[in-house]
Structures are given as structure tokens and as C-alpha cells.
């Protein structure tokens, strides 16, 4: 397990879920995959899509659309799995699309907007003001934490 560096990250893996653009610290991302086959878990919370067998390691898949209380996507063909490292293992964030790895200027790092409602306010660590949008930096442990 790696030790987190203090302060905001300088490189982020970007992804979108509906109208939101998010970034994960590149050091938290293990890999990015096309949508994987998932084994459903009976009686699991709605956010849990199922389990993925990732080269012999069982990984829980979290649907970011459900996690953020958004409506279901019309199709799942374009969705991607971002495998993230957590304090106690790995998980998969199922997102609408994965963007680029971008370098961000720490001078543009802002605290989370006060207007964020639940569940966004529980997973967003801060935000970067980019030229054309606001990029919300998320904590993968909080994103995978289920109520």
C-alpha cells in the first residue's frame, strides 16, 4: 500500500458520470477496463452492481450513477470500470466514460463547493477550476463507502 502525499494531487485520471466531471489521483488508479462481466450479489445495496473476477481477485463494482442518485443510463455498452486502490483492498467504479490523465496546477485547487448536496459532498475532496469546466477531485474510499 502506498503512502499518500499531503496536499492535492498533481495528476488526475478524469471520468464523467452524466453531467459531472471527476478526477481521481493517478496513484489511486490501478487500471481502467472496458465494462466487465459482473456476478450479481443478492440483497446487495443498489450501488453495488456485482463482483468482478480480476485475474483471480474478486473486486466489488460500484455503480457511480446509483451512488450519485442519478437515473440509469440508457445503455451500458460505453461504460468503463476504473479499478481503484482503497485502504482495505480494491474496488471498481463503473462510470459512463473515462477521459485523459491530466496534469493540474495546485494553485487552481479549491475546497469543495458549499453548494454540493449529498451524496456529492461526501465524496468530493476539492475541485480544480479548468478553462471550460469544474473538475471535482474525489476520494475513492468515500466513493466506495456504502450507507
Q: pLDDT tens digits, residue range 33-60?
A: 998 999 999 999 999 999 999 999 999 9
Tens digit of pLDDT for each residue in 111-140? 988 888 888 889 999 999 888 888 999 999
Find cell 493540474 and name the residue.
104
For the entire predicted model, the pTM comes to 0.87
Question: What per-residue confidence (pLDDT) applies to 129?
Answer: 87
Per CATH, which fold does 11-144 belong to? OB fold (Dihydrolipoamide Acetyltransferase, E2P) (2.40.50)
The domain limits of the chain are 11-144
Q: What is the DSSP string of 94-117?
A: EESEEEEEEE--GGGEEPPPTTPP
Round to whole Å and give the CA distance between 18 and 4: 29
Q: Which residues share a beta bridge with 97?
A: 16
How long, in residues, is the chain? 147
CB 123 within 8 A of CB 28: no
What does the buried/exposed string (b/e) look like for 26-44 if buried means 16 or more CB atoms within 10 Å of the residue's CB?
eebbeeeeebbebeeeeee
Amino acid at each position: 500500500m502506498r503512502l499518500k502525499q499531503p496536499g492535492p494531487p498533481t495528476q488526475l485520471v478524469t471520468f464523467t458520470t452524466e453531467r459531472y466531471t471527476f478526477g481521481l489521483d493517478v496513484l489511486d488508479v490501478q487500471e481502467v477496463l472496458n465494462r466487465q462481466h459482473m456476478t450479481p450479489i443478492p440483497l446487495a445495496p443498489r450501488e453495488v452492481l456485482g463482483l468482478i473476477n480480476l485475474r483471480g481477485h474478486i473486486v466489488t463494482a460500484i455503480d457511480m450513477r446509483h451512488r450519485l442518485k442519478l437515473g440509469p443510463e440508457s445503455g451500458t455498452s460505453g461504460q468503463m470500470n476504473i479499478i481503484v486502490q482503497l485502504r482495505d483492498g480494491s474496488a471498481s467504479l463503473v462510470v459512463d466514460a473515462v477521459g485523459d490523465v491530466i496534469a493540474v496546477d495546485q494553485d487552481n485547487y479549491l475546497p469543495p463547493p458549499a453548494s454540493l448536496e449529498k451524496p456529492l459532498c461526501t465524496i468530493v475532496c476539492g475541485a480544480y477550476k479548468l478553462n471550460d469546466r469544474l473538475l471535482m477531485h474525489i476520494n475513492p474510499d468515500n466513493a466506495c463507502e456504502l450507507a
